[in-house]
Amino acid sequence: MRIRIFSFLILSSLLFSCGSEKTTSSSSTKKADYFFELKGEAQGTTFTVKYISRDSVDLSNEIAQILRDIDMELSLWVDSSTITTINAMRSEDRPMQSRKGHFEEVLRVSQSVYYYTKGDFNPAVMPLVRYWGFARQSEAPEKVDEKQIQAYLAHMNFEPVAFENGVLKTGDSEMQLDFNAVAQGYSVDVVARMLEDRGISDFMVEIGGEVSAKGKNREGKIWTIGIEQPSDINAEHKLIATVELNDRSLATSGNYRKFYEKNGIKYSHTIDPKSGYPVQHTLLSATVVTYDAALADAVATAFMVMGTEKAKSFITDYPQLYLDAYLIYSGENGEYLTWMSEGLKSSIKEMKD
């Protein structure tokens, strides 16, 4: 898991390294397979794509183009992106050009999660993200202004937002959107679909800690993904558990590395869209496993708003979402405590001290 300060950076930051080698095939055809490992930087974070292919075609250019296309629709760091352009408009109805349809897809996922979480996940939180100093070119307030927070909350009804006939209908001329809590998971889904379309059935895609895996790795085993123990940003990264992932996706959200302190108060980057304030509870990290990385990404963020007990209940209340979760929270004495849903117990392994 990587907790990022900003989800997207400028397109020129897209960097790649690529390696490949032949590996023995277990198929009866006895043909050689090729194992690829692509690494790079994009969307303000790092990514890794591993896959096994029957041919030696390097897909790094296709992956780069996918990430560029998504940036051009969803990045708040690109001045000409779709989302930056519509956020600059002050109208209830905003003409919009979605180049590849990524904006509409992320909007659809966001509306679904907004509905199921009863507003605990809300992309209209953008003005509050800026107010608390977690957005581009923003600074933390010297003094918290309750009236200003209430003013922002008045423009955060995401329910009526819809895309119709090339127009984004917001119902509020002051509304601004931020899809950072779902866009990297969505990017993982798009890359994974491309690999499947190319006939690749053994792969692992990871962008900023959000993961999708299918089939097996080069050793012929199910992909194993690590979950980090919550720790200070300067502390050594240490795994608290690993989970086997096959034909499913995983996303983790946490507050313990992305925060700032001011006047002795620690401010989390997760903003409660109902109170308008950074969340304050004992939940340190939420890992969500389901079939789509975009859904996992958005729900993991919502869990960080809900807190431990409400997140546990959400898993059982909505079986139709096929969610599993691994939660890390602090006990009364500051110790790490964990909880996992029933569906993860056969695939997760916790590390012993």
> Which residue range(s) make up the domain with 119?
79-180
Per-residue pLDDT tens digits for 163-179: 999 999 999 999 999 99
Question: What spatial distance separates the first Cα and last Cα of the chain, rounded to whole Å?
Answer: 20
Residues 315, 288 contacting (CB under 8 angstroms):
no
**Residue 13 pLDDT > 70, yes or no?**
no
The pLDDT value given to residue 114: 98
Candidate from 1-5, 11-15, 322-326, 341-345 with smallest mean pLDDT: 1-5
**Residue 1 pLDDT > 90, yes or no?**
no
The pLDDT value given to residue 303: 97
Candidate from 85-89, 218-222, 251-255 with smallest mean pLDDT: 251-255
In the numeric block, which tokens belong to residue 237?
């990264």
Amino acid at 203: F
The pLDDT value given to residue 238: 86
Instruction: For residue 52, name the pLDDT band (cuts at 50, 70, 90).
Output: very high
Q: Which residues pair with 288 in a beta bridge?
A: 251, 325
For tokens 């789509």, what's the residue?
292
Residue 85 lies in a domain: yes
Instruction: For residue 333, name the pLDDT band (cuts at 50, 70, 90).
Output: confident
**Residue 244 pLDDT > 70, yes or no?**
yes
Q: Which residues pair with 38 in a beta bridge?
A: 18, 49
What is the C-alpha to C-alpha distance for residues 212 and 225, in angstroms, rounded to an integer?
10
The pLDDT value given to residue 31: 54
Per-residue pLDDT tens digits for 256-273: 555 444 444 444 578 999
Residue 309 lies in a domain: no
What is the C-alpha to C-alpha distance for residues 173 and 87, in angstroms, rounded to an integer?
10
Higher pLDDT, 264 or 153: 153
**Residue 226 pLDDT > 90, yes or no?**
yes
How many of the other CB atoms lie within 10 Å of CB of 245?
Answer: 19
What is the C-alpha to C-alpha distance for residues 241 and 147, in angstroms, rounded to an integer?
43
The pLDDT value given to residue 234: 55
For tokens 């691994």, what's the residue?
326
Q: Which residues pair with 338 in a beta bridge?
A: 328
Per-residue pLDDT tens digits for 58-113: 899 999 999 999 999 999 999 999 999 999 999 999 999 878 999 999 999 999 99
What is the C-alpha to C-alpha distance for residues 321 and 251, in angstroms, rounded to an integer?
15
The pLDDT value given to residue 139: 81
The pLDDT value given to residue 28: 36
Instruction: For residue 300, name the pLDDT band (cuts at 50, 70, 90).
Output: very high
Residue 193 lies in a domain: no
Residue 175 lies in a domain: yes
Q: How many domains does the chain fold into?
A: 1
**Residue 210 pLDDT > 50, yes or no?**
yes
Assign 207 to helix, strand or coil.
strand
The pLDDT value given to residue 83: 95
Instruction: For residue 24, name the pLDDT band (cuts at 50, 70, 90).
Output: very low
Higher pLDDT, 97 or 185: 185
- Find all residues with CB under 8 Å of 145, minimum gap 6, and list them: none
**Residue 3 pLDDT > 70, yes or no?**
no
Percent of the chain with pLDDT over 90: 70
**Residue 190 pLDDT > 70, yes or no?**
yes
Residue 83 lies in a domain: yes
Residue 176 lies in a domain: yes
The pLDDT value given to residue 23: 53
Residue 110 lies in a domain: yes
Our CA dihedral for 331, 334, 339, 344, rounded to 10 degrees, sits at -170
**Residue 10 pLDDT > 70, yes or no?**
no
Q: State mean pLDDT over 140-161.
A: 94
Our CA dihedral for 148, 154, 159, 163, rounded to 10 degrees, sits at -80
Higher pLDDT, 196 or 16: 196
The pLDDT value given to residue 103: 96
Residue 129 sits in a domain whose CATH number is 1.10.3980.10
Residue 151 lies in a domain: yes
